[in-house]
Amino acid sequence: MSYELNQTAGTMAPVCLFLFVALLVGRLPLAGTEEERVTPSSPSSSTTTDGFLSSNYSQLTLKVDFSSKVVEHEYIVAFNGYFTAKARSHFISSALRNTEGENWRIVQRENPASDYPSDFEVVQIRQDARSSLLTLQDHPYIKRVTPQRKVFRTLKLLSGSDGSSSCNDTRWVQKWQSWQSSRPLRRTSLSLSSGFWHATGRHSSRRLLRAIPRHVAQILQADVLWQMGHTGSGVKVAVFDTGLSEKHPHFKNVKERTNWTNEKTLDDGLGHGTFVAGVIASMRECQGFAPDSELHIFRVFTNNQVSYTSWFLDAFNYAILKKIDVLNLSIGGPDFMDHPFVDKVWELTANRVIMVSAIGNDGPLYGTLNNPADQMDVIGVGGIDFEDNIARFSSRGMTTWELPGGYGRVKPDIVTYGSGVRGSGMKEGCRSLSGTSVASPVVAGAVTLLASTVLNRELVNPASMKQALIASARRLPGVNMFEQGHGKLDLLRAYQILNSYRPQASLSPSYIDLTECPYMWPYCSQPIYYGGMPTIVNVTILNGMGVTGRIVDKPIWQPYLPQNGDHIDVAVSYSPVLWPWAGYLAVSISVAKKAASWEGIAQGHVMLTVASPAENDSAVGGEMTSTVKLPVKVKIVPTPPRSKRVLWDQYHNLRYPPGYFPRDNLRMKNDPLDWNGDHIHTNFRDMYQHLRSMGYFVEVLGSPITCFDASQYGTLLMVDSEEEYFPEEITKLRRDIDNGLSLIIFSDWYNTSVMRKVKFYDENTRQWWMPDTGGANIPALNDLISVWGMAFSDGLYEGDFTMADHDMYYASGCSIARFPEDGVVIAQTLKDQGLEVLKQDTAVVDNVPVLGLYQTPSEGGGRIALYGDSNCIDDSHRQKDCFWLLDALLQYTSYGVTPPSLLHSQNKVTPPTGTDKPLPERLEGNHLYRYSKVLEAHLGDPKPRPLPACPHLSWAKPQPLNETAPSNLWKHQKLLSVDMDKVVLPNVRAYRPQVRPLSPGESGAWDIPGGIMPGRYNQEVGQTIPMFAFLGAMVVLSFFVVQLTKSRSKPKRRKPRIKRPLYLQQQQQQTPHTGKNPTV
**φ/ψ bin of 276: left (φ > 0), alpha (ψ from -120 to 50), beta (otherwise):** alpha
Contact 55, 37 (CB under 8 A): yes
Question: Which residue type sits at 426?
Answer: M
Quick one: angle between helices 727-738 and 778-785, nearest 10? Answer: 50
Q: By C-alpha distance, which of 850, 672, 898, 756 is closest to 185?
A: 672
d(CA 975, CA 679): 34
Please give the sequence-ordered ranges of beta strands (E in DSSP) within 84-141, or none if there are none.
Answer: 104-106, 118-125
44 catalytic? Reply is no
Q: Is the peptide bond before 522 cis (omega within 30 degrees of 0)?
A: yes
* Phi and psi torsions of 220, nearest 5°: -85, 10
* Phi and psi torsions of 901, nearest 5°: -65, -25
Q: Is the peptide bond before 911 cis (omega within 30 degrees of 0)?
A: no
Active-site entry in 357, 437, 452, 742:
437
Give the distance, in angstroms, between the CA of residue 298 and the centroid of all CA atoms in the same chain.
Answer: 24
Contact 607, 555 (CB under 8 A): yes
The dihedral through the CA atoms of 787, 788, 792, 793 has a sign that is positive
Alpha helices by DSSP H, listed for 97-183, are 129-137
Active-site entry in 272, 652, 927, 972:
272
H/E element, 1068: helix 1062-1068
Helix or strand or coil: residue 580?
coil
**φ/ψ bin of 203: left (φ > 0), alpha (ψ from -120 to 50), beta (otherwise):** left
> Strand 824-832 and strand 797-803: pairing?
antiparallel
d(CA 329, CA 351): 17
272 catalytic? Reply is yes
d(CA 51, CA 46): 5
Give, as one character, the DSSP assignment of residue 274. Answer: H
Q: What is the DSSP string of 25-89?
A: HT-PPPTT--TTS---S-GGGGGSGGG---TT-S-EEEEEEEEEEEEEEEEEEEEEEEE-HHHHH
Q: By C-alpha distance, which of 300, 412, 431 is closest to 362?
A: 412
Contact 838, 794 (CB under 8 A): no
Total number of residues shown for the chain: 1080
The dihedral through the CA atoms of 312, 315, 320, 326 has a sign that is negative
Q: By C-alpha distance, which of 7, 35, 31 is closest to 19?
A: 31
Contact 406, 372 (CB under 8 A): no
d(CA 1075, CA 1080): 16
Which neighbouring-strand residues pair with 573?
586
> Strand 505-508 and strand 535-543: pairing?
antiparallel
Give, as one character, the DSSP assignment of residue 97. Answer: T
Which neighbouring-strand residues pair with 801?
808
437 catalytic? Reply is yes
d(CA 165, CA 822): 59
Determine how many CB atoms are found less than 10 A away from the CB of residue 336: 20
The residues near 927 (Cβ < 8 Å, ≥ 6 apart) are 659, 765, 769, 772
d(CA 690, CA 483): 20
Active-site entry in 241, 748, 794, 875:
241
Q: Which residues are catalytic?
A: 241, 272, 437
